[in-house]
Amino acid sequence: MSELPVGVERRDIGGETGLATQGPPAYGEPTDEEGWRRWNPRRSKLGAMLASGMDTGLAGGETVLYLGAAAGTTVSHVADFSGPTYAVEFAPRPVRDLLDVAEERDRLFPLLKDARNPETYAHVVEPVDAIVQDVATRGQAEVALANREFLRDDGRLLMAVKARSEDVTADPEAVFDDVVGTLSEGYEILERERLEPYHTDHLGVVARPR
């Protein structure tokens, strides 16, 4: 079991022990009297990677580019223990919720942009220590390759691959192999692991830029 980043702990909240970060509630998650809030791995691919013991390389305090932030469920936890956190989401409706989450987090910067077009936010995002990607679209590897320019040479890509977003009819393991193969054009794959039982037909990938 790899070490958790500083700012992420396993705590008993509401009679259940699991991952938690310390910060303002964001989506109705259980909290304790010390301001810790439960990070449910069934609602978070990165949470599932950490709960599964994958070595994400996160220590706490990193600058992060989060691709596919949606309404902010996972990225709110990331911003609790990281440094500046750039949250990219292309759908206007969830971005409204993301803006509410960011109001109480001065390190979280929402960007209404499409992760497939990083040139549209290249003037805003500084070099980052980690890219967290949870983008449910065809061409997930291509998104990671396109955003590689932001990642420091010693940084990490933490990616959740959703098989059904690539091909709903194909065998998930074959899809994972194809995505990882394309990803290898720009990244060295350090670890890959299925995210069951937390998420069906998802693969967690840890990689670093070549």
Binding residue per annotation — 171? no
Binding residue per annotation — 114? yes
Binding residue per annotation — 85? no
Binding residue per annotation — 71? no
CA 67-70-73 angle, 5° bins: 100
Binding residue per annotation — 73? yes
Strand partners, 112: 89
Binding residue per annotation — 141? no
The token pair at 73 is 């469920």
Which residues are known binding-site members for S-adenosyl-L-methionine? 73-74, 89-90, 114-115, 134-137
Which residues are known binding-site members? 73-74, 89-90, 114-115, 134-137
